[in-house]
Homo-oligomer: A and B are copies of this chain.
Amino acid sequence: MKNSLHTTTLADQAEEKIIEYIKEHHLVPGDALPNEMQFSEMMGISRNVVREAMSRLRMLGLIQSRTKRGIVVTEPPLLNGFSKVLDPQLLSINTLKDMMGMRLALEIGITDFIFANITNVDLKELDEIVARQKAIGINNLSIEDELKFHLKIYEIAGNQFIMKFQELMHPVFVFSKQNYENYFQPINRKLQEENKIITHVDILEKLKNRDAEGYRNAMRMHLHPYWEFLYNYTEK
C-alpha cells in the first residue's frame, strides 16, 4: 500500500479514469456511464474503490446514479466543491486576502453589466433597501443590510455564477470583518474625519444618474477599508 503524500491511491486513479472516460467518449449530460462492476473489471480493482471515485464525482455533481438504471452524466453545478471548502477557519490570511481581492475585482468589474441591465424597478428596490437600513457605528451597517444592498447589485448584473460565487464568499467577509475589526475601525475613523466615507446612498445616486465612472469610483471608495486591509495588513 502506497500512502505517502506524493502517491496516488487507486481511488484517485479511478476518479481520473472515469473523468477521462467521459471526455474521450464525448459524453454529455444524459449519457450513461459503464456501471460500477464494469469499471471495476476494466481497471482490475475492487468495486469499493470504484465506488469511492464515483462518490466523489457524485458529490461534485458530475454524475447521478440510480438503482438499475446505472450512472448518468449530468451538467455539474460549478461550485459544489468550492462551497464545501470555504470555511474561513481553515483559510490562511493570504487566502483571505485573495478572497477579498476577488470580491473587490468583481464588484468593480460588474459595473458595465449593471449599467447595461439596470431598470427603474431596480432603482426603486434599491431605494427601499437603502431607506430601511440602519447605521451601526462608523461606516458600518448590520451584516444583513450590507448584504441586501450588494446582493441586489449582483442580481442586476445578471450573472448566475457571479451571484452564487458571491453568496458563497459572503461568510468569509463576515468573518474577516469581525475577526479583524480592530484593524478596520481606525481606518473608518480616519475616513470619517476626512469626510471620505461613501455610503450606499452615494452609490445609489451614481446609479440613478447613470454615471458608470462615478459609480466605479464610489464603489472603490466604499470598499476602501478592504483594499487597505489587502495591501497593508500584516499579522502581529
Contacts and interface: CB of A to CB of B under 8 A. Distances in A.
Interface string A58-102: 011110101100000101101111101111011110110011011
Contacts of A90: 22, 28-29, 62, 73, 75-76
Contact of A101 (B3, B64, B159): B159
A56 interface: yes
A116 interface: yes
Interface in A96-117: 98-99, 101-102, 104-113, 116
Contacts of A89: 22-23, 26-28
A11 interface: yes
Interface in A25-64: 26-29, 48, 51-53, 55-57, 59-62, 64
Contacts of A67: 1, 3
A76 B85 contact: yes
A125 interface: no
Main secondary structure of the interface of A (DSSP, over half): helix
A75 B89 CA distance: 9
A81 B57 CA distance: 9
A17 interface: no
A113 B226 CA distance: 13
B85 A78 contact: yes
30 contacts: A1-B67, A3-B66, A4-B66, A5-B64, A11-B55, A12-B59, A19-B84, A19-B87, A22-B89, A26-B89, A53-B55, A55-B55, A62-B84, A75-B90, A75-B92, A75-B95, A76-B85, A79-B82, A81-B81, A98-B159, A101-B113, A101-B159, A101-B162, A102-B161, A104-B109, A104-B112, A105-B109, A105-B113, A108-B111, A109-B109
Interface of A: 1, 3-5, 11-12, 15, 19, 22-23, 26-29, 48, 51-53, 55-57, 59-62, 64, 66-67, 73, 75-76, 78-82, 84-87, 89-92, 94-95, 98-99, 101-102, 104-113, 116, 157, 159-162, 165, 213, 220, 227, 231
